[in-house]
Amino acid sequence: MQTLTQRLANPTRFMELSGRILPWLSGLAAVTLAYGLYLSFFVAPPDYQQGETVRIMFVHVPAAWLAMMGYMIIAVSSFGLLVFRHPLADVSAKSAAPIGAAFTLLALVTGSLWGKPMWGAYWVWDARLTSVLILFFLYIGLIALRSALEEDPALAGKLCAVLGLVGVVILPIIRFSVDWWNTLHQPASVLKVGGPAIHPSILIPLLVMALGFTLLFFAMHLKAMRNEILRRRVRSLTLAEVERASRLEARAAE
Amino acid sequence: MSALWSLVKRDLLIAAREGGATGTALGFYLIVIALMPLGLGPDLQLLSRIAPGVLWIGLLLAALLSLGRIFETDKEEGVLEILATGRVPLEFVVAAKAFAHWLSSCVPLAILSPLLGLLLNLELAAYPILLGTILIGSPAISFLGSIGAALTLRSRRGGLLIALLVLPLYIPTLIFGISAISAVVTPPGSLEASLLLLSAVTIASLVIGPIAAAAALRAQLG
The string of DSSP letters for A119-149 reads HSSS----HHHHHHHHHHHHHHHHHHHHHHT
What's the rounded Cα separation, in Å, for the pair A143 and A149? 10
Q: How far is A84 from chain B (nearest CA, A)?
A: 15
How many domains does chain A contain in total? 1
pTM summary value: 0.85
Q: How far is A162 from chain B (nearest CA, A)?
A: 6
Please check whether residue A59 lies inside any domain of the structure.
yes
- pLDDT classification of A185: cutoffs 50, 70, 90: low
How far from B108 is each of A13, B80, B117, CA to CA, in Å? 58, 26, 15
pLDDT in tens, B159-189: 788 888 898 889 888 888 888 888 877 777 6
Please check whether residue A131 lies inside any domain of the structure.
yes
- pLDDT given at position B95: 92
Please check whether residue A42 lies inside any domain of the structure.
yes
- pLDDT given at position B139: 92
- Domains of chain B, by residue range, sit at 2-221
- Its domain, for residue A159, covers 23-181+203-221
What's the rounded Cα separation, in Å, for the pair A185 and A174? 16
Do residues A168 and B162 touch, judged by C-beta distance below 8 A? no
Question: Could A148 and B204 be called an inter-chain contact, meaning their C-beta atoms sit closer than 8 Å?
Answer: no
Number of neighbours of residue B23 by Cβ within 10 angstroms: 10
Rg (CA), chain A: 22
- pLDDT given at position A190: 58
Please check whether residue A15 lies inside any domain of the structure.
no
Q: How far is CA B38 from the centre of its chain?
A: 26
Which chain A residues are closer than 8 Å to B164 by Cβ?
137, 140-141, 144
Do residues A200 and A134 touch, judged by C-beta distance below 8 A? no
What's the rounded Cα separation, in Å, for the pair B205 and B201? 6
Q: How far is A182 from chain B (nearest CA, A)?
A: 10
Query: Got the DSSP string for B11-60?
Result: HHHHHHHH-SHHHHHHHHHHHHHHHHHHHH-S-HHHHHHHHHHHHHHHHH
Question: Could B220 and A137 be called an inter-chain contact, meaning their C-beta atoms sit closer than 8 Å?
Answer: no
Please check whether residue A232 lies inside any domain of the structure.
no
Residue A51 bridge partners (DSSP): A47
Please check whether residue A195 lies inside any domain of the structure.
no
Please check whether residue A82 lies inside any domain of the structure.
yes
Which chain A residues are closer than 8 Å to B167 by Cβ?
137
What's the rounded Cα separation, in Å, for the pair B34 and B27? 10
Residue B113 bridge partners (DSSP): none
Number of neighbours of residue A19 by Cβ within 10 angstroms: 11
Share of chain A above pLDDT 90, in %: 24
Q: Which of A199-203, B77-81, B162-166 has the lowest mean pLDDT?
A: A199-203
CA A233, A238, A239, A245 dihedral sign is: positive
